[in-house]
Chains A and B, each alone.
Chain A
Amino acid sequence: MTTAPSKPITLIMAVVVTCVVAATGLAATYAVTEDRIAEQDRLAQENSLKAAMPDASSFEEVTDETLLADAEAAAGEVQVNGVFTAFDDAGEEIGWGLRLGSRGYGGYAQLVIGLDTSGSVTGVSVLSHGETPGLGSKVMENDEFLAAFTELPAGFTVKDVKTVDGISGATKSSRAVKHAVEAAGAVYADVLSKGGE
């Protein structure tokens, strides 16, 4: 099909009009969904914190920048994406929830690790992950594996974490969770245990 070349102005107009219409449509969709997406993210985070710390009734995000920087340094390769102080019904501080990004097979998995004031793990929950569905995802959905970390002694070290059995066939995904727990231990030892308020 040979057609006569179009005038430059026609070409420009066609692209500009398309982009303007598309941008308007997207802006409208975004406006409709924005609040709901933010709400869903907040809910997901809340649920993960609750799952990692069943005894806590409320959480408060730590905004102290030096503490966060220290936590980041202690966690090493693992990203610290949020530190939350956990309170029980009486308003007593009972521990911390750490939101950590740990590298698995399919990018960073967002994990929440709950720690009590003595430094034991109260729970591990998965906020989001990009592991292979049906393979690496089995690690992230395996409650038994995630619960194994709560057996670790207070003040556990990397060596203790190594004793937890991974899931065969999904070594890298298992390691993502282990690294996050190790990082949580390091953050507790270096920052939180030192009265890190």
Chain B
Amino acid sequence: MQWRLPVRSTLTCCRREASDVREWMKVFNAGLSIENPLTILMIGLCATLAVSTQVQGSLFMGVAVIFVLVMSNVLISAFRRFIPHEVRIPVFIVIIASFVTIVDLFLKAFFPPIYAILGIWIPLIVVNCIILGRAEAFAYNNTVWLSIADGLGMGIGYSLVILVLAFLREFLGTGEVVFFEHTVLAMPAGYQPPGILMLFPGAFILFGFMIAGTKWINQRLERKKG
């Protein structure tokens, strides 16, 4: 009996790890699809609509959001037992603001051209509801392991949507997609780009279509499952 114990414990340990990975993937996928922060939860839209005029700016915005989201999720979930319930919001904000400032300073110091594109929207990540929302709704109640999945899933989900939106706006609104001064894709000559797409009303209209598209895809997938 005694020699069996270690074997059994390794087995249960491995089984738990396998289910852990499954759970991790589930949380990660939720951020990309059924709980996508932009098209489903519809949080953090302000900066999204403002930044999504250019693909290259949106790409770095996505990277900045992923970094801040994962780091703040990790820190908040790691110390969740030490953060008293009553003061959790101020503590979250200090943690988030610190990471945002770090990103801000690093971009300014090492990537000035990108900083010139994003400008004010980097400091404004502090008040982006996605990050505070995930801290409150997920990281404060879950393990570090799962919070990483949530941060990555939500961050990548955010980046994918903002990139698609930026691609549509830049391509249709200016007639070409420019990436670091190289024209990647261009409309045929003579195309008259509708300038409204570059402004907020155009962003709202396009984004409405994207939400409808996501809903339609999700419904079809559900029907297939059912």
Majority secondary structure of chain A interface residues (helix, strand, loop or mixed): helix
Flag whether B54 is at the interface (Cβ < 8 A). Answer: yes
B57 touches A26 (CB 8 A): no
Contact of B87 (CB < 8 Å), options: A15, A26, A44: A15
A29 touches B101 (CB 8 A): yes
Least CB distance from B32 to A in Å reads 26
Flag whether B3 is at the interface (Cβ < 8 A). Answer: no
Flag whether A33 is at the interface (Cβ < 8 A). Answer: yes
B170 touches A128 (CB 8 A): no
> Which A7-28 residues sit within 8 Å CB-CB of chain B?
10-11, 14-15, 18-19, 22, 25-26
A40 touches B112 (CB 8 A): yes
Chain A residues positioned under 8 Å from B54 (CB to CB): 133-134
Known interface pairs A18-B91, A133-B117; A30-B105 also in contact (CB < 8 Å):
yes
For the complex, what is the distance from the CA of A73 to the CA of B102, rounded to whole Å? 39
Contact of B84 (CB < 8 Å), options: A1, A6, A32, A169: A6
A18 touches B94 (CB 8 A): yes
Q: Residue of B at shortest CB range from A126?
A: B116
Chain B 46-76 interface 0/1 with A at a Cβ cutoff of 8 Å (1 = within): 0000000110010000000000000000000
A22 touches B195 (CB 8 A): no
Contact of A26 (CB < 8 Å), options: B85, B86, B101, B174: B101
Flag whether B220 is at the interface (Cβ < 8 A). Answer: no
Q: Residue of B at shortest CB range from A107?
A: B120
For the complex, what is the distance from the CA of A40 to the CA of B95, rounded to whole Å? 28
For the complex, what is the distance from the CA of A46 to the CA of B120, rounded to whole Å? 23
For the complex, what is the distance from the CA of A169 to the CA of B199, rounded to whole Å? 11
Contact of B86 (CB < 8 Å), options: A5, A19, A33, A135: A5
Q: For chain A, give the interface size range.
A: 20 to 34
Majority secondary structure of chain B interface residues (helix, strand, loop or mixed): helix
Chain B residues positioned under 8 Å from A44 (CB to CB): 112
A133 touches B57 (CB 8 A): yes
Chain A residues positioned under 8 Å from B119 (CB to CB): 130
Flag whether A132 is at the interface (Cβ < 8 A). Answer: yes
Flag whether B90 is at the interface (Cβ < 8 A). Answer: yes
Flag whether B198 is at the interface (Cβ < 8 A). Answer: yes
Flag whether B184 is at the interface (Cβ < 8 A). Answer: no
List chain A positions with a Cβ less than 8 A from chain B.
Answer: 1, 3, 5-6, 10-11, 14-15, 18-19, 22, 25-26, 29-30, 32-33, 36-37, 40, 44, 128, 130, 132-135, 138, 169
**For the complex of A and B, 5 pairs with smallest distance between CB atoms:** A33-B109, A36-B109, A6-B84, A22-B98, A135-B198
Question: 27 A-B pairs, CB-CB below 8 angstroms?
Answer: A1-B85, A3-B85, A5-B86, A6-B84, A6-B86, A11-B84, A11-B86, A11-B87, A14-B84, A15-B90, A15-B94, A18-B83, A19-B94, A25-B102, A29-B105, A33-B106, A33-B109, A37-B105, A37-B108, A37-B109, A128-B116, A132-B53, A133-B117, A134-B53, A134-B169, A134-B173, A135-B198
